[in-house]
Structure 1
Amino acid sequence: MKFSRLIMLLLSVTLFLNMQCEDDPVSLPQSNCVNLALIDSFSYENAATSPYTINDVIVNEDCLIITITATGCDGNTWTMQFLDSGSVDESSPPQRYGKFFLINDESCLAEVGRTTSFDLSTLQIEGENEIIINIDGYEDPVTYTY
């Protein structure tokens, strides 16, 4: 009787310890880009942006590098985001539609330039290795090859 209780206690302790959660490390994709491009059709259609001008757009590997100018003090408090509409035109190569959004609460009137980057890997389409990205407010379509 004592032996079966001891076995039952050991079994219970073993099961209890087995159920304890261990935090498995979560690995995010490594990126040299500052931000992540997001697919969000609601925000794409409804989000407000501060005025800005896109000066240059470059794709370097998985990074979309955007240079803008806007009025401000130094641009260090700006919040910048690149949103994809979520819709894909079935062309060859497929086309996506993106917008750059800026939140600028700086009250200075100087013209300030800033460059930032967005990881485009979230915009990849399975079975494709290239897409065209049409950026609202930028005249030329951008080719992203992955």
Structure 2
Amino acid sequence: MKLFFMFLLFLFLTSCSDDEDNRPVSDCGPYIEILSSTDGLDPGDAFALADISTEGTCLSIEVSATGCNPDDWTAELVTDGAVAESIPTQTNARFILDRQLPDGASICQAIAFKTFTFDLSDYLTPGALPSNLRLVGPADTARVILFEE
């Protein structure tokens, strides 16, 4: 009996998780990743920012890059969470594209486009709006987007 209770205790302790996977699924895409630092991040693959649009705290980023199949591309939007106290507030985020190319693979020379959408609601809370988001892309190119309430 004692062994059974030990097993239940072990099962109970290992089944709990404190990670953020328990938050509700967003209607507009993955959440922005808030890291302690964005220094030293892999810059990802080369691309150009083709278009940027917002709807509420949803950010859509259309990119263009060489490649034959943009369906395989993945992207992440990361920030260090720092907000400059000004009016409007100012913050930075880095967009990182991964075209899923194996090392040494030849690149299709066609220009392809893909749109990625991210949910910034965890980051751009109503108290932080309005806010200028400086979106950093390849080779530290940047665009500034104004988010308003």
TM over 0.5: yes
Report the alpha carbon displacement of residue 33 of structure 1 after superposing the two structures with TM: 1.5
SS of the residue corresponding to residue 91 of structure 1 reads: coil
Report the alpha carbon displacement of residue 47 of structure 1 after superposing the two structures with TM: 2.1
Q: Please say if 1:70 is aligned against 2:73.
A: no
Report the alpha carbon displacement of residue 30 of structure 1 after superposing the two structures with TM: 4.3
Q: State the distance in 2 between where 1:126 and 1:67 align.
A: 25
Letter in 2 for 1:144: F
The higher radius of gyration belongs to: 1
Q: State the distance in 2 between where 1:142 and 1:53 align.
A: 16
Gaps of 5+ in 1: 1-18
Report the alpha carbon displacement of residue 57 of structure 1 after superposing the two structures with TM: 0.8
Q: State the distance in 1 between where 2:54 and 2:86 align.
A: 20
Provide the TM-score with structure 2 as the length reference: 0.72
The equivalent of 1:108 in structure 2 is 108
The equivalent of 1:145 in structure 2 is 148
Q: State the distance in 1 between where 2:123 and 2:40 align.
A: 17
Describe the shift of the 1:40–1:112 C-alpha distance in structure 2 as closer, same or farther (beyond 3 A). Answer: same
The equivalent of 1:95 in structure 2 is 90
**Residue among 32, 36, 47 paired with 2:31:** 36
Q: State the distance in 1 between where 2:39 and 2:55 align.
A: 24
The equivalent of 1:10 in structure 2 is none
Describe the shift of the 1:130–1:112 C-alpha distance in structure 2 as closer, same or farther (beyond 3 A). Answer: same
The equivalent of 1:134 in structure 2 is 134
The equivalent of 1:11 in structure 2 is none
Q: State the distance in 2 between where 1:31 and 1:65 align.
A: 14
Provide the TM-score with structure 1 as the length reference: 0.73
Q: State the distance in 1 between where 2:39 and 2:74 align.
A: 16
Q: State the distance in 2 between where 1:80 and 1:91 align.
A: 30
Report the alpha carbon displacement of residue 76 of structure 1 after superposing the two structures with TM: 1.4
Task: Provide the identity percentage.
Answer: 25
For residues 45-74 of structure 1, what are the alpha-carbon distances to aligned partners after superposition, in whole Å with 9 as ceiling and x for unaligned?
422310000011111122100000001112
Would you identify which runs of 4 or more consecutive aligned residues in structure 1 move more than 4 Å?
none
How large is the Cα RMSD of the aligned pairs?
3.1
SS of the residue corresponding to residue 127 of structure 1 reads: helix
Q: State the distance in 2 between where 1:50 and 1:123 align.
A: 25
Gaps of 5+ in 2: 1-8
Number of positions where the alignment pairs a residue of Structure 1 with one of Structure 2: 134
For residues 71-92 of structure 1, what are the alpha-carbon distances to aligned partners after superposition, in whole Å with 9 as ceiling and x for unaligned?
1112111110111132211111
Describe the shift of the 1:126–1:64 C-alpha distance in structure 2 as closer, same or farther (beyond 3 A). Answer: closer
Describe the shift of the 1:126–1:61 C-alpha distance in structure 2 as closer, same or farther (beyond 3 A). Answer: closer
SS of the residue corresponding to residue 122 of structure 2 reads: helix
